[in-house]
Amino acid sequence: MRTQVAIIGAGPSGLLLGQLLHKAGIDNIIVERQSGEYVLGRIRAGILEQVTTDLLREVGVGQRLDAEGTVHHSIELVFSGTRHAIDVHGLTGGKVVTAYGQTEMTRDLMEARSEVSLPTVYEARDVEVLDYDGEHPRVRYQKDGQTHEIECDFIAGCDGFHGVCRASVPKGAITEFEKVYPFGWLGVLADVPPVSPHAIVYANSERGFALCSMRSLTRSRYYVQCPLDDKVEDWSDQRFWDELRLRLDPEMASRVVTGSSIEKSIAPLRSFVAEPMRFGRMFLAGDAAHIVPPTGAKGLNLAASDVKYLSGAFIEYYKEKSPAGIDSYSERCLRRVWKAERFSWWLTSLMHRFPDTAGFGQKIQEAELDYLVNSESLSRSLAENYVGLPLNFGER
């Protein structure tokens, strides 16, 4: 088999890149380790920045997003038992975020891909990326008991944090920056109306962080900060709902509608960046190159902006015969990535209970939050980062 761009991974970054390249007439094949159903079963992100929703519309998959996504004009911060709205829309000159599940976005992209019969190999075993430091990269994998090979011009490593692409790079050629947080998030999905359908709620409390989000007007997604060694079995539904209420302001707590969980999982929190994001003819994008703690809702959105830059670079290479885009890809992405890393780290630090910051640390967080909600400049800084910095932010 031969293609122009071999994409490893059929998560949001791989699927979106495939669609952007297809629209530009560039051939691509996606090679994915899991089955399509497995990919769709992973419950993850829920908040899309305008850059991401614009991209989905650009590749022709905006219809269901526009019909079923819920636009949010503000976010709510809870601390010291009271709730404060931040008018994100007003503070950013009209920008918004949209609540639309990663699962739904993935489904839309998968359907668009199969409608035009673009090749996707699911359940590919032992994927290897070969010769990407030369002119003729290859991807090798096992499927149905046979070895297959794809010859290509470029490899796009869209295979997530545990993927094979970054892991294939020799240690001396890559620098990794990492911060692991001493807690996790316990997430619950339930078919109950969200307590706050028009704004995500971020709560700082002495008992730890809590977050109220949604997937639709009838499906809620809630999280509470928990110790890293907690097990899902430690958390009955009842214990979860009781704890969530204790971390919200009393008025909101009284309105939480409870029900049976349909998914419950614990995710660790991590900040991670690998530099550079290009190795010869292989390019990393999305979680393969960087991880943010979910507090700022940036992971999926960064994956989308990476592949926007990457598709632009490939288009420039094929249509204008210019390597300028692929040569500047890593530097361009990393500038944006580090700003999202900073924002996610800051919001995580502000909102969570840390083992060594009880007492004094709690008071400092409450003082900063009180300053934030009463200072237009700090509120605007939060808002402009939350909706996502423009793709050309800081570029001359």
Residue 241 or 309 having the CB closest to ligand PHB = 241
Positions marked catalytic: 72, 202, 294, 298, 386
Which residues, 287 to 326, sit near ligand PHB by CB under 6 A? Answer: 294-295, 297
- 200 contacts which partner out of ligand RFL, ligand PHB, none, CB within 5 to 8 A by kind? ligand PHB
- Maximum pairwise Cα distance, the chain: 63
User: Can you state the percent helix, strand and coil of the chain, rounding each to 5?
Assistant: 40, 30, 30
Binding status of residue 186 toward ligand PHB by CB under 6 A: no
Binder of ligand PHB out of 83, 95, 166, 221 (CB under 6 A): 221
Q: Which residues bind ligand RFL (CB under 6 A)?
A: 8-14, 31-34, 39, 44-47, 102, 124, 127, 158-160, 162-164, 185, 187, 267, 286-287, 294, 297-301, 303
SS3 per residue for 309-324: HHHHHHHHHHHHCCCH
Nearest distance, CB of residue 394 and ligand RFL, angstroms: 21
**Single-letter amino acid code for the residue at 153:** D
Which residues, 47 to 76, sit near ligand PHB by CB under 6 A? Answer: 47
- 32 contacts which partner out of ligand RFL, ligand PHB, none, CB within 5 to 8 A by kind? ligand RFL
**Which regions of the chain does DSSP assign to beta strands (E)?**
5-8, 28-31, 47-49, 70-72, 74-79, 82-86, 97-99, 120-121, 125-130, 138-143, 146-151, 154-157, 175-190, 199-203, 210-216, 219-226, 261-275, 278-279, 282-284, 290-291
- 12 contacts which partner out of ligand RFL, ligand PHB, none, CB within 5 to 8 A by kind? ligand RFL
What contacts 335, CB < 8 A, 6 or more positions away?
394
Binding status of residue 45 toward ligand PHB by CB under 6 A: yes
- 169 contacts which partner out of ligand RFL, ligand PHB, none, CB within 5 to 8 A by kind? none
The rounded distance, in Å, linking the Cα atoms of 364 and 360 is 6
Three-class SS of residue 240?
helix
Structure-token match 């409450």, residue found: 366
- 295 contacts which partner out of ligand PHB, ligand RFL, none, CB within 5 to 8 A by kind? ligand PHB
Structure tokens, 90: 């007003």
Binding status of residue 213 toward ligand PHB by CB under 6 A: yes
> Per CB under 6 A, which region of 44-52, 79-87, 136-144, 329-337 contacts ligand PHB?
44-52
Contact 17, 310 (CB under 8 A): yes
Using CB under 6 A, list all residues that contact ligand PHB.
Answer: 45-47, 200, 211, 213, 221, 294-295, 297
